Amino acid sequence: MCGIISYIGKQDALQILIKGLKCVEYRGYDSAGIAIGDEQHPFRIERSVGYIENLIKHVSPLGLKGHVGIGHTRWATHGGIFEKNAHPHVSNDKKFILVHNGVIENYAALKATLLKTGVKFYSDTDTEVLVNLIAQYYQQLEQLPTSQRFEESVRKSLAEVQGTYGIVVICTDCPNELIGVRKSSPLVLGINPDGLFLGSDVGAFSGHIENVVYLSDHEMVHIKGMDYQITDLMNGSVTSPSLETIDREQNTADLGDFPNYAKKEIFEQGTALGNMYLGRFSSDGSSAHLGGLQITPYELRQVERILLLGCGSSLYASKIGASLIETYARIPVDVEYASEFCYRNAPLNKNTLVFVVSQSGETLDTLNALREVKRKGFPTLAITNVVGSTIAREAGCGIYLHLGMEVGVAATKSFTGQVGMLALLALYLGRMRDMSFTDGRQFVQALQSLPQKVDEVLALCDKPMQKLAKTYVDYQHCFFIGRQMLYPVAIEGALKLKELSYMHAEAYPAGELKHGALALIDPSVLTIVLATNEEVMGKNISNMMEIKARHGKVIAIGLEGCEIPQKAYDEVIYLPKVYPALLPIITVLPLQLFAYYLASERKCNVDKPRNLAKSVTVE
């Protein structure tokens, strides 16, 4: 969950590192640091607590020089948020400087051994153990040439490590070299004529490069000046890198006229969905075109069950997707927490098709679930937004969302994008089963109109939700309730409110409210009722009346043409009617706006909520 950027080349490293750190700050923002130097300038390490801006203020007057450098922005795992725990970390002998993303699970045992040899520790991190372990091996390998000695020290040290890591290491005896290694934590090599980069994702390169090499697990890249070599960490054999071209625009983000990324990404959802659907409808306008699946129609018709795996917003999008696939394709669908799947022996039917869903494509829990399913021999596909991500590469095939980079930590456009793509998948599978041509055409027309509907709903709800946020800014508890496909929307709405505004929020299937949770209703509790599904409108109204009878506050999200009695709510917003499959997408939009504006009223950092990071690359 930390962000890494490193550079070696012809340009001054400082501004490249600072710009790169800004681009990956969404990965962690508890603290940040850099190390810069080269053959003419001794390496200097500077660190600070808090956002990148604090580091910039700290280093600006220092005049740091060098063409080689590493930078890191931290999301705390081992050790509190103090400068001593910020990266980079340096070995006792000052020869090694290291940044690390991941968790070293056996750090306590390694630390105990190093303490016996006289190593002193100045931080509470697992990373400081690794940098000193490398230094110890370096001392033992003095018979080797310096550059080889550097590489072998890293290799031997990592052979003792249990856990996950993406690391970049500097050896001051080899000031024009960098070594990077990954295991279950992303690391990407970026290449341009002026220098070589290593980063935790391509966003770290801030538009500097077009060509990249995505390192695989147990691969080590050794950079020497403008040359590099990739080897297998385990046996040292040289591997042939696969050079890929990236879309700079897909991996850069500009705020434009918006005050923050959270608001920008909410309001660009219509455009993002339009981009996602480009080229994905059949020529006769009755079905979907999903070339990335790489599974024949015959093979898909043999599927008897689908399993969707995800975490957080991706899990809730999958729950909606499950309802859509079951409704329109008549295929049973299970949805599981990816974080739990590996730790239970789930029975899977031999004709089960598995989709893993992850915005970043680097979510470690989801990646581990993918590997477990593949180990058992099941066909596994990915739905992800990031081209070249680990999940996308290891799944082998799947569907890219092409939503553009999402910077805000709280998922907004990636959630609606995942739901929109799962709706497209439901259409695709449905047309292979028993969905008629006419029904397929109606579904396609609804999806084609969705971007415009999203823009319409955001414009409709913007000012009302801003007003409601002012009204309820001092409330501390909120329930979200919904039925059928709107229950996962309620969960997502509660999650957004928690993430952005730090208000306590819970979601319930509406019928479950009276099975216990109703005991918590009083005038200090707000309930947001999602009542945009016509077929259960009467039951939704009954739920609202139950809450109002206990003096609870109710905001109703309704549907045009389906009037809700005034005595059933305190506030109401009516959304336009849409094709039933698209109700979850338009219903979540006012919830995103409410969470955003409530957080703004509470002076919360809407792009960087406390304790959270965008890409969860640790378990």
Residues labelled as active-site residues:
2, 614
- d(Cα 71, Cα 28) in Å, to the nearest integer? 13
- d(Cα 218, Cα 313) in Å, to the nearest integer? 30
User: Crossing angle for the helix pair 486-501 and 313-329, nearest 10 degrees?
Assistant: 170
Please give the structure tokens belonging to residue 57: 């203020």
User: Crossing angle for the helix pair 313-329 and 413-432, nearest 10 degrees?
Assistant: 20
- d(Cα 196, Cα 209) in Å, to the nearest integer? 9
Cα Rg, the chain, nearest whole Å: 26
The helix (H) or strand (E) run that includes residue 530 is strand 525-530
- d(Cα 90, Cα 129) in Å, to the nearest integer? 10
CB of 406 closer than 8 Å to CB of 266: no
- d(Cα 421, Cα 486) in Å, to the nearest integer? 17
- d(Cα 96, Cα 113) in Å, to the nearest integer? 19
CB of 603 closer than 8 Å to CB of 20: no
Three-state secondary structure along 218-243?
A: CEEEEEECCEEEEEECCCCCECCCCC
Q: How many residues does the chain have?
A: 619
- d(Cα 539, Cα 170) in Å, to the nearest integer? 64
